[in-house]
Amino acid sequence: MFLNTQVDIDNLPGIEEIRLKSISKKYLKIIIINRISLFLVLFVVLLIMTWFMDDKTPQNLLLYGFVILTVFLILNLTIGLLAFKKRKYAIRDHDVVYAKGLIINSLTTVPISRIQHIEENRSWLARQFGLATLKIFTAGESGSDLSIHGLPKDDAKKIHDYISTKVNGSI
C-alpha cells in the first residue's frame, strides 16, 4: 500500500545544526591576485586605446578611465572579501553541503548517493598556495554540480578519497 504522509516541518533539523567549515584563508590571496590581474589587463587595454587616439579625443580620457577602473577594482575587491567570508562547506555521512553568496545566499546540498564522480583540480596559482578545488558531478548535468574552491590540498585529498569510497560502496 502506498503511503504519502505529510512531514511536520517544525520537527525537521535546522540549517544552523550543520557545522560549516570555512575554506582556507589562503584562497583569499588567490581571489585578490585574480581580481588585480583583471584590473591590470583592463588598464593595459585602456593604455593601448589611448595610444591610438587622435588629437580630437579628450586627453583626460585616460584619467577618467583610470578612475573608473580604480573604483571598479575597489568595489570588486570589497565584494570579493565579503563574499569570501560566506564560503563554507560540510561533509556529512550522506551529503556534501556548500554555502556561498553575499547578496544572494545559496546553500547547495549534494547527496552522496547521487554523485557520479569527483575531481580534484589544482591550478598553477592554487599549487603555489597549497590549495585545491573539488568538483562534484552528478548524473544528467554537463558540468560539475558543485565546486568547492580553496581547500587545503591534504583536506581535498581526504574528502576526495572519502567520497570516492562512499560512491563505490565500500563504506
The tens digit of pLDDT for each residue in 125-153 reads 999 999 999 999 988 766 668 999 999 99
- In angstroms, the CA 167 to CA 148 distance is 18
Cα 21 to Cα 86: distance, rounded to the nearest angstrom: 10
Are 124 and 156 part of one and the same domain?
yes
What CATH number is associated with residue 114? 2.30.29.30
The answer to whether residue 5 sits within a structural domain is no
Residues 76 and 93 grouped into a single domain? no
The predicted pLDDT at position 141 comes to: 62
Q: How many domains does the chain have?
A: 2
Identify the burial level of 108 via C-beta atoms within 10 angstroms of its C-beta, where 0-12 means exposed, 13-18 middle and 19 or more buried. middle
- Read off the pLDDT band of 170 (50, 70, 90): low
Indicate the range of 21-25, 47-51, 75-79, 103-107 predicted with least confidence. Answer: 47-51
Give the pLDDT score at 171: 54
Using the 8-state DSSP alphabet, how is residue 11 labeled? G
Strand order in the sheet with 21-22: 21-22, 88-91, 95-100, 106-111
Q: Tell me, what DSSP letter sits at residue 23?
A: P
Quick check: is 106 in a domain? yes
Same domain? For 67 and 41 the reply is yes
In whole angstroms, what is the distance from residue 64 CA to residue 57 CA?
A: 13
Q: Indicate if 109 and 164 belong to the same structural domain.
A: yes
Lowest mean pLDDT, pick from 15-19, 24-28, 101-105: 15-19
- Write out pLDDT tens, residues 78-101: 999 999 999 999 999 999 999 999
Q: Which domain holds residue 161?
A: 89-169
The answer on 93 and 74 residing in a single domain is: no
The pLDDT of 1-17, averaged and rounded, is: 82
- Residue 8 domain-assigned? no
- Mean pLDDT, range 4-26, rounded to an integer: 87
Cell of 28: 583569499
Residues 65 and 122 in one domain: no
Are residue 100 and residue 158 in the same domain, yes or no? yes
Instruction: Output the pLDDT for position 57.
Output: 66
Task: Name residue, grid cell 551529503.
Answer: 95
Give domain status of residue 15, yes or no: no
